[in-house]
Amino acid sequence: MRREDSLTRHVDWWLFGIVMTMLIIGIANVYSAAYDPEHPSIFDFSQKYGKQIMWVSISLFLGLVVFLIDSDIYRKFAIPIYLFCFSLLIVVLFTPPINGARAWLGIGSMGIQPAEFMKIATAIALSSYISSVNVKQQNMQTVLIALAIVMIPMVLILLQPDAGTFVVFTSFFFVMYREGITFDPLVLKIVNSFPGIRFKQTWVGSHFIPILFYVVFLSVITLLMSKNQYELTFLPGVLIPGFIGVISVITILAILSYFVLRWLSAKRDRSRVFLIIITGWLLSCTVSTAVNFSFSSLAQHQKDRIELVLGLRKDDDGKDYNRNRAMAAVGSGGMFGKGYKQASVASVRSNHVPESETDFIFCPLAEEWGFVGSTVIVFLFMFLLVRIIIIAERQRSAFNRIYAYCVAMIVFYHFAVNIGMNIGLAPVIGIPLPFFSYGGSSLMSFSIMLFILLKLDSQRRDVLS
């Protein structure tokens, strides 16, 4: 079969159809949310809905361009693409701040966010690197290079600061775990550097997901307890700071764990049990200290949002107004909604919900179409994610498979966090809803990302490794 035939014969039309459906619904949603009776034409480019059509057109054009490029280009030029986008991240740090962040590069009256395109470059570079190494024989260098590909851009993104994109970049760690990149070599190198300690393997890599959830749980407990003071029952009137209480709880659990494991273990294993407990205690204290320090270094508005989500403070001064108003708008839609262009709480005209055409675009949709319409959108994203995973699993090339999983995780993070913000389950960190939120950078990056995937998948039969 000729390669030219595969361009059209092997396109995944299901994925293409889902993307086009989302783009059409997204345009209609932005038009409804930002509708101005004095400018009724949807093609009025002075309005946001007119500009959205322009961004969609540009995105589809760029998608077509990347689809026409041979898929080998992305493998061969993974590093130059990565370095180019990385250089844009450096340049943007020297631009004037917009809304308190240096995240935009101006082009005439418009602008782009380099961080959006850095996600694509990182996905390509990580796919290229992991597919070129033997993960069964990985060493510390393999792990460090994979971590560097992901974490170096994260540092620059945090300097902007762009907390939302920073969070999205953590999705690449799940892809690394899926492909067998573990932290065992790095942990072994650190642990075995202590005199008298020699381990041949650790259980960190095989328990990555449980450890990650444990870290998240410990982080939440640290934030919840660190903001309070506790009175000792046997010493009335003596108050201890919350952070010392966290360390005390960790210590008590470590002591109890030691005696339980010591009782269950053979005598020859008791020294190892003690070492494991001590190591776990040190790591837990380190995580708690890092969380406490990181939280104290956040900007005040970021602290406020986290504390409000965790219920650590009342919203007397309305600092959580955006999330409260978003939940009110979603709830006002009821079961079947108020109808198209009938949103009153979440419309741009009322300005009751801030950024209702960008980060909170789900609000007008939920208000207009209710629970039923919102469920349709959620299922549409689920179909998209399932389709991407199906595409990933049928690839012959490791590069294609890894890239597909990168795309799936990025889309999932955006979908889960954005809707979580709108319904009060996640702090407001500024993550757009793919293909729905107003804005050119997000539309272009997701279009390019998925059209690259379509291209890689269409030529999967031409790739043997």
Task: Give, for all 465 residues of the chain, the pLDDT tens digit.
Answer: 444 454 566 788 899 999 999 999 999 988 888 888 888 888 888 888 888 999 999 999 999 999 888 888 888 899 999 999 999 999 888 888 776 777 788 764 567 888 899 999 999 999 999 988 877 777 778 888 888 999 999 988 888 878 888 889 989 988 988 887 776 666 666 666 666 556 565 555 556 666 666 777 777 777 777 766 655 555 555 556 666 777 777 787 777 777 776 676 655 566 666 777 777 777 777 777 777 777 776 667 667 767 666 666 666 556 566 777 778 778 888 888 888 887 777 776 666 777 777 888 888 888 888 889 899 999 999 999 999 999 999 888 889 999 999 999 999 999 999 998 888 777 778 788 999 988 888 899 999 999 999 999 887 766 554
For the chain, the three-class secondary structure string (H helix, E strand, C coil) is CCHHHHHHHCCCHHHHHHHHHHHHHHHHHHHHHCCECCECCCCCCCCHHHHHHHHHHHHHHHHHHHHHCCCHHHHHCHHHHHHHHHHHHHHHCCCCCECCECCCEEECCEEECHHHHHHHHHHHHHHHHHHHCCHHHCCHHHHHHHHHHHHHHHHHHHHCCCHHHHHHHCHHHHHHHHCCCCCHHHHHHHHCCCCCCCCCCCCCHHHHHHHHHHHHHHHHHHHHHHCCEEECCCCCCCEEEHHHHHHHHHHHHHHHHHHHHHHHCCHHHHHHHHHHHHHHHHHHHHHHHHHHHHHHCCCHHHHHHHHHHCCCCCCCCCCCHHHHHHHHHHHHCCCCCCCCCCCCCCCCCCCCCCCCCCCCCHHHHHHHHHHHHHHHHHHHHHHHHHHHHHHHHCCCCHHHHHHHHHHHHHHHHHHHHHHHHHCCCCCCCCCCCCCCCCCHHHHHHHHHHHHHHHHHHHCHHHCCC
Looking at residue 339, its pLDDT comes to 83
CA distances from 76 to 79, 179, 299, 305, 400 (A): 8, 21, 41, 43, 13
Beta bridge partners of 229: 241
Looking at residue 202, its pLDDT comes to 58
pTM of the model: 0.80
Domain limits of the chain?
3-227+312-462
Looking at residue 205, its pLDDT comes to 56
Looking at residue 86, its pLDDT comes to 93
- Contact (CB, 8 A) for 208 and 228: no
- Contact (CB, 8 A) for 186 and 143: yes
Looking at residue 143, its pLDDT comes to 82
Beta bridge partners of 101: 98
- Contact (CB, 8 A) for 131 and 405: no
Looking at residue 407, its pLDDT comes to 95
151 φ, ψ to 5°? -85, -30
- Contact (CB, 8 A) for 449 and 120: yes
Residue 235: both structure tokens together = 């010493």
Give the whole-angstrom CA distance, residue 304 versus residue 318: 10
Give the whole-angstrom CA distance, residue 365 versus residue 369: 6
Give the whole-angstrom CA distance, residue 258 versus residue 270: 9
CA distances from 214 to 30, 287, 427 (A): 39, 10, 20
